[in-house]
Amino acid sequence: MTRLYFNEVVTRDGFQNEAHFVPTADKVALIDGLSQCGFAKIEVTSFTSAKAIPMLKDAEAVMGQIQRAPGVEYTVLVPNVRGAERARECRADEWNLVMSTSETHNLANLRMGREQSFAGLRDVVAQARGHAAVNVSLSTCFGCPMEGEVPAAEVLRWADRFATLGVRGLTICDTTGMAHPRQAAAMAQALRSRFADLQITFHFHNTRGMGLANVLASVDEGIVRFDGSLGGLGGCPYAPGASGNICSEDAIHMLQAMGLDTGIDLPRLLTLARQLPDLVGHEVPSQVAKAGRTQDLHPTPAYVEELRSERS
Amino acid sequence: MTRLYFNEVVTRDGFQNEAHFVPTADKVALIDGLSQCGFAKIEVTSFTSAKAIPMLKDAEAVMGQIQRAPGVEYTVLVPNVRGAERARECRADEWNLVMSTSETHNLANLRMGREQSFAGLRDVVAQARGHAAVNVSLSTCFGCPMEGEVPAAEVLRWADRFATLGVRGLTICDTTGMAHPRQAAAMAQALRSRFADLQITFHFHNTRGMGLANVLASVDEGIVRFDGSLGGLGGCPYAPGASGNICSEDAIHMLQAMGLDTGIDLPRLLTLARQLPDLVGHEVPSQVAKAGRTQDLHPTPAYVEELRSERS
């Protein structure tokens, strides 16, 4: 049976988009809970400036207080060499670097061009040697909300440049939920044939409702690693009110229902998902947390038993 | 290119689950709008008792006031011979009959056993001859919320019995969102090989987030007809807070993005979807209505142009 690997990004990519600060102790408790669920990786936090992302200003405290579980990698977002120093001090297992394959999105999001981003991240990759594995998350690989189409060749070009630097993994991000299943399948084929030795992770958003269909199409083409966010947290400024990241528990529930091995303890994960609305102060897009798993049956109403006995 | 056919069920299956009455004139205006969108069928209303479903107490008025568009079939739910009389008087193009493949669900939902339902519906099929085409919607084909698994053989057995009566079509319903993509694909294969001459429609709910993944898996196995509900209306009493029917505009958007011909004017449909929250008085699960289509781009922020000019 195909083994799938899930990375949980709620405390970084999810919380980053939340309006109200989640206290450090709550973040630590959530991560410690996630550590018991069977994730391959947990993206704990980001070593960006506290001013830019106040939600993650407690990055060091969180990294210092979590209980690391054997077999789980704790990854952090590292934007630059200063962030790399902080990640090294915190002994993060993996550094996750981010840039966009769209020039306009990179300018909008990181306030620099792609070449400048690449030069900075190259230095970070060099710093990582001997300290941490490196993953690069490439944003807008399935389309840019401002430029529109991002050619697959452009994605492969940036993937090539990072592969040449010796990174361990690449995450192919559908940052604003523009991917459709045929495109996901084609991207999976192109990347698997070209980067057989790299960890390839797909990162989908459910902005337009296509998230799990894209996961399905990617699994069918041999992709085995996915990012997901508990509760589907992680909205997008370009789509107010729409869903964010694919919801980890919904994706895992579907794949388990299909008979695939996700490595995840779903009941335990659902317990955490059901605590999330209280933690963030609002409803979350998660469906399985509300509806229960397919196998969680409902009691037969009393009148049905009465009808049955009347007939017998 | 494969041609797909969509049936819009919002004014029957969707509204039936709404708490507050939608005025007749609003229903008629919505159906008249939907008639211009390219649907193969519109399920207008239900000829059940006004007491059982007060929302649809205006069935005759709605059927009398809508403007019928050429090429669109207007179908109505017919529960029994009394409903059939009313449907005939209203000149419905198609009668949609409903029963469950799960005994417990049929008892819970229709307050009679499956054999009693079948006997009643057999009389309705006989009444339809010369007046309307007949479609049978089989509920809980992918699982029953009380019994659990419904064997595919059981679905095929009931499908066979109705096929023998000479119905034109069968709708295979995932009434409470329990289907997963492998199951949808297997069901599609089994039905297509067995009922090549019948219109086979798949009806999915997004209760656990798997709706569009199930559509994808079914399209890949040659299913070309789908029910959908504008805005994703049509929740389920077994899953409070969870999504209802698959959202027509989200499914159609995905399939169009994949290059398939749905026959639907999506911008026109989205205009209707965006009016729906006002009509029903609450937010609806639709994602594309909130986020826009993939090709609807966003303006580049002014600071990006400034950054660009600084660099050149």
Q: Which long-range contacts (CB under 8 A, 24 or more apart) does A77-83 make?
A: A77/A12, A77/A43, A77/A45, A77/A46, A77/A47, A77/A48, A78/A47, A78/A124, A79/A46, A79/A47, A79/A48, A79/A110, A80/A120, A80/A124, A81/A120, A81/A123, A81/A124, A81/A127, A82/A47, A83/A46, A83/A47, A83/A48, A83/A124
8 Å CB contact of A209 and B207: no
User: What local confidence, expressed as pLDDT, does residue B65 receive?
Assistant: 98
CA B55 – CA A172 distance, rounded (Å): 47
Coil, strand or helix at B61: helix
Please identify every stretch of chain B with a pLDDT value under 70, giving residue numbers as ranges. Answer: 312
Helix axes B152-165, B114-128, angle to 10 degrees: 30
Least confident of A131-135, A185-189, A230-234, A238-242: A238-242
CATH number of the domain to which A55 belongs: 3.20.20.70
8 Å CB contact of B209 and A299: no
* A163 part of contact set with chain B, CB < 8 Å: no
Taking a C-beta distance cutoff of 8 angstroms, is the pair B162, B136 a contact? yes
Nearest chain A alpha carbon to B182: A258
User: What local confidence, expressed as pLDDT, does residue B241 receive?
Assistant: 75
**Shortest Cα distance from B109 to chain A (angstroms)?**
9
A-chain CB neighbours of B174 within 8 Å are none
Question: Cβ atoms within 10 A of the Cβ of B179, count?
Answer: 30
| Domain housing B306 | 5-311
Q: What is the DSSP string of A223-278?
A: --EEEEBGGG----TTSTTS--BPBHHHHHHHHHHTT-B----HHHHHHHHHHHHH
Block residue for tokens 């009493």:
B237
8 Å CB contact of A254 and B290: no
User: What local confidence, expressed as pLDDT, does residue A32 receive?
Assistant: 98
User: What local confidence, expressed as pLDDT, does residue A207 receive?
Assistant: 96
Option in A145, A183, A297 nearest B298 (CB): A145
Mean pLDDT confidence for A84-95: 98
Residue A158's DSSP bridge partners are: none
User: What local confidence, expressed as pLDDT, does residue B257 receive?
Assistant: 98
User: What local confidence, expressed as pLDDT, does residue B93 receive?
Assistant: 98
The answer for A 100-119 residues in CB contact with B (under 8 A) is: 104, 107-108, 111-113
* Predicted-complex ipTM score: 0.97
Option in B247, B291, B304 nearest A104 (CB): B304
pLDDT at A1 over 80: no
User: What local confidence, expressed as pLDDT, does residue B114 receive?
Assistant: 98
pLDDT at A66 over 90: yes
Number of domains in chain A: 1
A-chain CB neighbours of B291 within 8 Å are 177, 207-208, 238-239, 241-242
Ramachandran region of residue B263, left (φ > 0), alpha (ψ -120 to 50) or beta? left
Q: Which helix (H) or strand (E) holds A116?
A: helix A114-128
Nearest to A249 by CA among A56, A3, A1, A6: A6
Coil, strand or helix at B247: strand
Chosen from B103, B144, B180 to mutate, greatest number of chain A CBs within 10 A: B180
From residue A188, alpha-carbon distances to A26, A75, A217, B311 in Å are 36, 23, 9, 35
8 Å CB contact of A304 and B250: no
Taking a C-beta distance cutoff of 8 angstroms, is the pair B176, B207 a contact? yes
Nearest to A95 by CA among A82, A114, A79: A79
Query: Counting Cβ atoms within 10 Å, is residue A245 exposed (0-12), middle (13-18) or buried (19+)?
Result: buried
From residue B124, alpha-carbon distances to A232, B48, B105, B128 in Å are 46, 14, 21, 6
User: What local confidence, expressed as pLDDT, does residue B238 receive?
Assistant: 75
Q: What is the DSSP string of B86-116?
A: HHHHTT-SEEEEEEESSHHHHHHHHSS-HHH
8 Å CB contact of B213 and A216: yes
